[in-house]
Amino acid sequence: MSSVVNDTHHEEHPSGIMRWITTTNHKDIGTLYLWFAMIMFFIGGLMALVIRSELFQPGLQFVDPQFFNSMTTMHALVMIFGVVMPAFTGLANWMIPIMIGGPDMALPRMNNWSFWILPFAFSMLLSTLWMDGGAPAGGWTLYPPLSLQTGDAFPFLIFAIHFMGLSSIMGAINVVATILNMRAPGMTLMKMPLFVWTWLITAFLLIAVMPVLAGGVTMLLTDKFFGTSFFNAAGGGDPVMFQHIFWFFGHPEVYILILPSFGVVSAIIPTFARKPLFGYSSMVYATASIAFLSFIVWAHHMFTVGMPLAGEVFFMFATMLIAVPTGVKVFNWVTTMWKGAMTFETPMLFAIGFIIMFTIGGFSGLMLAITPADFQYHDTYFVVAHFHYVLVPGSIFAIMAACYFWLPKWTGNMYPETLGKIHFWLSTFFVNLTFFPMHFVGLAGMPRRIPDYSLQFADYNMIASIGAFGFGFAQLIFLYLIIKTIKGGKKATDQVWEGAEGLEWTLSSPPPYHSFNTPPAIK
């Protein structure tokens, strides 16, 4: 029995909605994840547009300050847990089994559950918008005591986070088990594509830190409902302790949001430069170093909480160190392009945009790491500018690059190239219009998380708001383009891109339901 190729085992191929609900196929599940991320992106983006509308001009125009804070909080939770993480997990589901020459994910039923938690968890989270006391409004960082002032939404928020955490942990376990156990014979670790490597390390980070977040929010829950004093000085606790726990999760989390992007870009740049990736092994080591360092820098988010001097200095140095391995990556990409024979199809454009704008975000990150200067930057729009640069033209651009890169493989159809390019240029223009001015207003003294501001910040906020609407509009093109490509278009070849190398390009476009029924031979 065990040696049977189990396609025969698959007589019951439910159709319609039941296919999607019960599926154990990595491609189906990958597709589900990606569509989920897409929907959440529009929801989270809509919240960002509420924020930007209110900030278009000084004064209170559209929403109550409390609701504004809810929008900020929910926007971040949705974007991070509902968009970037599921999108990367979707890509992992689609690509990792194929890239390593495996048949599917290692634990397909758990894979299904990892996905099907998400719609429920996010329904719980989003339903808080209609509850007494409103949706959570204490920032995505959930700092007590403020977060303990949340109304009826509070337990829903905490349990939704537990639920999402469960989903991410299981997803990550699946990735690790797949990579460690499902590789085709001959696919040694150091032959794996970088996307697989970065995901292996990301999965490790996920398994290490999501439970810590779960522990942290559990303490919030018991502080609110069961009389514990973890974050209450009168009982011997400390509100700052929550921040330590949160950022012990939170900082590795931001690398969870970026490492798979590095993998995507490391796949795309060589393809369109028609030249092998420069410094493969140093890329692997750099990723591992970033992951290691990410565990010892967390308190750079807390420079102003009044830590002892030694702590401030330690966390400053450790944080600055991350620039070194990240730099190695950037230099390797540039050197890969050097003396290649480049063409600039949409995925390549997004990848190049990623490198440039991520580096800009990295630079501002480095500035934030300088403790005395961070006293001025902290909790201003300079920080908002920093993290949107690494997240939007960073993570989101990388996800889009990946979609363009693999869409022909997934659907069997080429996407309309011109439209893709238009999408890229509009996105790039508007993303900078939105987020670059935020550096200036931040330096000039505009705090984050405020619904109204004094007059000297007015001009640049208006520009940022215009940019945000433009950027949002550009994403409608993306949606349209994807639907159009799924429906039809020029047939894609198996290799799709002239310079493409790797197992995924040896399969048909679209690939068969079970990628490799027998393990491929690895050179």
Query: Residues in the site for ligand HEA, rule: CB under 6 A?
Result: 42, 45-46, 48-49, 51-52, 72-73, 75-76, 79-80, 83-84, 139-141, 254, 257-258, 300-301, 319, 322-323, 326-327, 330, 359, 362-363, 365-366, 368-369, 374, 377-378, 383-384, 386-388, 390-392, 394-396, 434, 448-449, 468-469, 471-473, 475-476
> Least distance to Cu ion from the beta carbon of 241, Å?
18
What is the separation of C-alpha 389 from the centre of its chain, rounded to a whole number of angstroms? 13
Among 62, 363, 473, 480, binds other proteins (CB under 8 A): 363
Based on the residue annotation, tell me whether 374 is a catalytic residue of this protein: no
For position 27 contacting other proteins by CB under 8 A, the verdict is: no
> Least distance to ligand HEA from the beta carbon of 344, Å?
22
Which residues contribute to the site for Cu ion (CB under 5 A)?
251
> Least distance to other proteins from the beta carbon of 70, Å?
10
| DSSP structure class, residue 502 | S
Please choose which of ligand HEA, Cu ion, other proteins, none residue 309 contacts, taking the beta carbon within 5 to 8 angstroms, the exact cut-off set by kind: other proteins
Among 38, 328, 431, 438, binds other proteins (CB under 8 A): 328
> Least distance to other proteins from the beta carbon of 254, Å?
18
Please choose which of Cu ion, ligand HEA, other proteins, none residue 437 contacts, taking the beta carbon within 5 to 8 angstroms, the exact cut-off set by kind: other proteins
Please choose which of other proteins, ligand HEA, Cu ion, none residue 312 contacts, taking the beta carbon within 5 to 8 angstroms, the exact cut-off set by kind: other proteins
Please provide the DSSP assignment of 128-183 as one string.
GGGSTT-S--STTTT-TTGGGG--THHHHHHHHHHHHHHHHHHHHHHHHHHHHH-P
**Residue 137 and residue 155: Cα distance in Å, rounded?**
14
For position 139 contacting other proteins by CB under 8 A, the verdict is: yes
| DSSP structure class, residue 519 | P
For position 341 contacting other proteins by CB under 8 A, the verdict is: yes
> Least distance to other proteins from the beta carbon of 413, Å?
24
> Least distance to Cu ion from the beta carbon of 480, Å?
36
Please tell me whether residue 491 adopts helix, strand or coil conformation: strand
Structure token pair of residue 200: 């292996």
**Residue 209 and residue 295: Cα distance in Å, rounded?**
9
Based on the residue annotation, tell me whether 162 is a catalytic residue of this protein: no
For position 288 contacting other proteins by CB under 8 A, the verdict is: no
Per-position b or e across 356-391, b if 16+ CB within 10 A of its CB:
ebbbbbbebbbebbbbeebeebbebbbbbbbbbbbb
Based on the residue annotation, tell me whether 421 is a catalytic residue of this protein: no
Nearer to other proteins, 256 or 481 (CB): 256
**Which residues have CB under 8 Å from 331's CB, separation 6+?**
none
For position 225 contacting other proteins by CB under 8 A, the verdict is: yes
Nearer to other proteins, 44 or 451 (CB): 451
Could you tell me how many residues of this chain bind other proteins (CB under 8 A)?
184
**Residue 475 and residue 472: Cα distance in Å, rounded?**
5
Based on the residue annotation, tell me whether 255 is a catalytic residue of this protein: yes
Catalytic residue (one of 27, 75, 275, 378): 75
Please choose which of Cu ion, ligand HEA, other proteins, none residue 343 contacts, taking the beta carbon within 5 to 8 angstroms, the exact cut-off set by kind: other proteins
C-beta separation of 97 from 31 below 8 A: no
For position 280 contacting other proteins by CB under 8 A, the verdict is: yes
CA distances from 320 to 296, 306, 317, 383 (A): 11, 20, 5, 16
For position 245 contacting other proteins by CB under 8 A, the verdict is: yes
**Which residues have CB under 8 Å from 518's CB, separation 6+?**
5
What x-and-dash track marks residues 98-137 binding other proteins by CB under 8 A?
----xxx-xxxxx-xx--xx-xxx-xx------------x
For position 6 contacting other proteins by CB under 8 A, the verdict is: yes
| DSSP structure class, residue 509 | S
Nearer to other proteins, 406 or 436 (CB): 436
Please choose which of other proteins, ligand HEA, Cu ion, none residue 394 contacts, taking the beta carbon within 5 to 8 angstroms, the exact cut-off set by kind: ligand HEA
Q: Which of 437, 426, 432 is nearest to 393 (CA)?
A: 432
Based on the residue annotation, tell me whether 147 is a catalytic residue of this protein: no
Nearer to ligand HEA, 50 or 182 (CB): 50
C-beta separation of 192 from 99 below 8 A: yes
Based on the residue annotation, tell me whether 452 is a catalytic residue of this protein: no
Q: Could you tell me which stretch among 65-73, 386-394, 414-422, 500-508 binds other proteins (CB under 8 A)?
A: 65-73
Long-range contacts of 456-460 (CB under 8 A, 24+ apart): 457/58, 458/57, 458/58
The half-sphere exposure of 316 on its side-chain side, counting CA atoms within 13 A, is 17
Q: Which of 96, 91, 321, 107 is nearest to 197 (CA)?
A: 96
Length of the chain as a residue count:
523
Of residues 412 through 441, those in contact with other proteins by CB under 8 A are 436-437, 440-441
**Which residues have CB under 8 Å from 243's CB, separation 6+?**
141, 143, 301, 302, 305
Please choose which of ligand HEA, Cu ion, other proteins, none residue 240 contacts, taking the beta carbon within 5 to 8 angstroms, the exact cut-off set by kind: other proteins
C-beta separation of 365 from 390 below 8 A: yes
For position 176 contacting other proteins by CB under 8 A, the verdict is: yes
| Residues acting as catalytic residues | 75, 104, 140, 167-168, 251, 253, 255, 266, 300-301, 326, 329, 448
